[in-house]
């Protein structure tokens, strides 16, 4: 009985760790991708300087969680990895190139004079492309991946769907909302006014896409509809959309009322609720409707080795990021000749 319990529990533990890594990535990297999405909309070059300064100490560390999530999928759930990777080769490769491109733009923009606008466009384009590719992957997961004999059986463009496009638009709006919330919290003056104004549009886009994605998923994927609307699930899961609606209303009011940290935290909460909805829709599948977390689990020796690495690495990364956010706390202020500095550092 004990061995059976362990066999059932171990995949749940590693699945929870993988979900944790993805969640931290989406919430943490979402803020700097969101700042990139808003970059060209900023009215002045000084605003763009301040926007980059606000994320400069933390943006590169945020992407550690993306690498960790991919590593966990490969090591802990190889059956899911070798099906999902070929299914999403194109959006994954475009996403990685976009992330690299925006990283190059981040570094070169500070030194550029004549071609600064080129790097502004590159930073914006890399942020939008990476975010939209994540939406295409998300939509493809919800729709389901064609599988035959335990292998991916679709073509290179099987990931394309209307649901993926809706998810991509929703993620662009959602990351822009998180980025605007971050700027409201971290800046003052004209930059904060700009962030408040654009946060309204980002919230409208995010809320609209969340509603459309939810409705389209329930209409086009019967398993998702059954998960949410079959009794007693309907009663048990009703708090999720109700709380989401309450957060949207509170966020809208917070933007108007001048809330700063609360606006940013509510934007994170809205995204977290979206992730909860996704988990409810897809659980317990690694590959929707084909491979569960129990079916796709790696061998015990690999999991034991992986557990040691996870137990060491995750606390170190969390401590590093917590220290970075603490050291560079406070408002970001502009200084002539440089991007700026952080008032709390």
What pLDDT is attached to residue 2? 39
**Mean pLDDT over each residue of the chain, to the nearest integer:** 85
Kindly list the distances between the CA atom of residue 278 and the CA atoms of 27, 214, 220, 284, 302, in Å, as whole numbers in the listed order.
15, 9, 15, 11, 28
> Is residue 294 in some structural domain?
yes
Predicted confidence (pLDDT) per residue in 14-24, tens digit: 888 888 888 88
pLDDT at 345 over 60: no
> Is residue 182 in some structural domain?
yes
How many distinct helices (H) and strands (E) make up the chain?
14, 6
Domain count, the chain: 1
* Averaged pLDDT, 304-327: 87
Most confident of 47-56, 207-216, 286-295: 207-216
Predicted confidence (pLDDT) per residue in 188-220, tens digit: 888 888 998 899 999 999 999 999 998 888 888
Q: How far apart, in whole angstroms, are the C-alpha atoms of residue 56 and residue 345? A: 13
* Averaged pLDDT, 142-156: 84
Characterise 125 by phi-psi region: left (phi > 0), alpha (psi -120 to 50), beta (else): alpha
> Is residue 338 in some structural domain?
no
- Map residue 338 onto helix, strand or coil: coil
CATH code assigned at 161: 1.20.1630
Q: How far apart, in whole angstroms, are the C-alpha atoms of residue 249 and residue 257? A: 12
Angle at 271 between CA 107 and CA 290, to 5 degrees: 100
Residue 71's domain comprises 11-303+310-327
pTM for this predicted structure = 0.89
* Averaged pLDDT, 64-89: 84
Kindly list the distances between the CA atom of residue 259 and the CA atoms of 1, 192, 251, 256, 341, in Å, as whole numbers in the listed order.
53, 11, 9, 8, 23
Read off φ and ψ for residue 238, nearest 5 degrees.
-55, -35
> Is residue 335 in some structural domain?
no
For residue 6, name the pLDDT band (cuts at 50, 70, 90): low
> Is residue 171 in some structural domain?
yes
> Is residue 231 in some structural domain?
yes
> Is residue 122 in some structural domain?
yes
Instruction: Look up tokens 């384009």; give the residue.
Output: 125
> Is residue 237 in some structural domain?
yes
């Amino acid at each position: 009985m004990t061995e059976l319990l362990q066999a059932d529990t171990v995949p749940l533990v590693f699945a929870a760790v993988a979900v944790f890594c993805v969640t931290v990535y989406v919430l943490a990297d979402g803020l700097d991708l969101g700042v990139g999405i808003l970059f060209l909309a900023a009215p002045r070059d000084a605003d763009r300087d301040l926007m980059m300064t606000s994320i400069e100490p933390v943006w590169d560390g945020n992407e550690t969680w993306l690498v960790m999530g991919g590593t966990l999928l490969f090591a802990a759930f190889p059956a899911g990895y070798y099906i999902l990777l070929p299914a999403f080769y194109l959006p994954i490769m475009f996403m990685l190139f976009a992330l690299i491109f925006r990283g190059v733009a981040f570094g070169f923009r500070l030194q550029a004079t004549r071609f600064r606008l080129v790097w502004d466009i590159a930073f914006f384009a890399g942020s939008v492309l990476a975010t939209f590719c994540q939406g295409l992957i998300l939509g493809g997961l919800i729709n389901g991946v064609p599988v035959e004999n335990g292998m991916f059986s679709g073509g290179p463009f099987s990931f394309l769907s209307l649901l993926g496009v809706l998810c991509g638009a929703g993620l662009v709006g959602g990351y822009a909302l998180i980025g605007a919330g971050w700027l409201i919290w971290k800046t003052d003056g004209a930059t904060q006014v700009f962030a408040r104004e654009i946060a309204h549009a980002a919230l409208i886009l995010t809320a609209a896409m969340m509603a459309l994605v939810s409705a389209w998923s329930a209409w086009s994927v019967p398993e998702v509809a059954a998960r949410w609307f079959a009794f007693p699930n309907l009663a048990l899961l009703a708090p999720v959309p109700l709380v989401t609606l309450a957060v949207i209303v509170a966020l809208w009011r917070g933007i108007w009322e001048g809330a700063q940290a609360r606006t940013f935290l509510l934007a994170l909460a809205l995204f977290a609720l979206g992730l909860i909805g996704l988990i409810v829709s897809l659980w317990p599948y690694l590959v929707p409707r084909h491979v569960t977390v129990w079916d796709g689990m790696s061998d015990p020796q690999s999991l034991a080795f992986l557990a040691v690495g996870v137990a060491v690495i995750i606390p170190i990364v969390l401590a590093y990021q917590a220290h970075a956010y603490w050291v560079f706390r406070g408002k970001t202020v502009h200084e002539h000749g440089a991007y700026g500095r952080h008032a709390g550092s």
